[in-house]
Amino acid sequence: MGNQMTEMLKGTLEGMVLAILAGRPAYGYEITARLRDEGFSDIVEGTVYALLVRIEQRGLVDVEKVPSEKGPPRKVFSLNPQGRAQLEEFWGTWTFLAERIEHLRVEHTDSSEEDDHTEQGKN
């Protein structure tokens, strides 16, 4: 993944994980697998686990230890009301930013096309 993608993911990964947990409870490996299925193939489990520790400490998720067939019990994370509120705030912020970024992209694309047509007219 390029450096720009890595930096953008740092700011959005929490919201993405909360969105996954809004669908259903999951443990760390399931969350990582879902992110990879969505095309984020370079995300490592350690990054997701560190994020889960932070959101647990902030009280955004409830945790239940579920017995595992292989090894120690798994921590299953589920979104609680505080986490749902945080996710709603994330989506509001995301929508605000995405709309403005798209406006800038379209504005830049339109002005680039105008510049191209102007240059072609000179030839």
* Contact between residue 106 and residue 99 where contact means Cβ atoms under 8 Å apart: no
Closest CA relative to residue 28, chosen from 12, 7, 44: 44
pTM equals: 0.83
* Count of residues making up the chain: 123
**HSE (CB half, 13 Å, CA atoms) of 62?**
11
Q: How far apart are the first and last CA of the chain?
A: 41
**Residue found by looking up tokens 């889960």 in the block:** 52
Q: Give the SS3 label for residue 75.
A: strand
* pLDDT tens per residue across span 44-96: 889 999 999 999 999 999 999 999 888 899 999 999 999 999 999 999 999 99
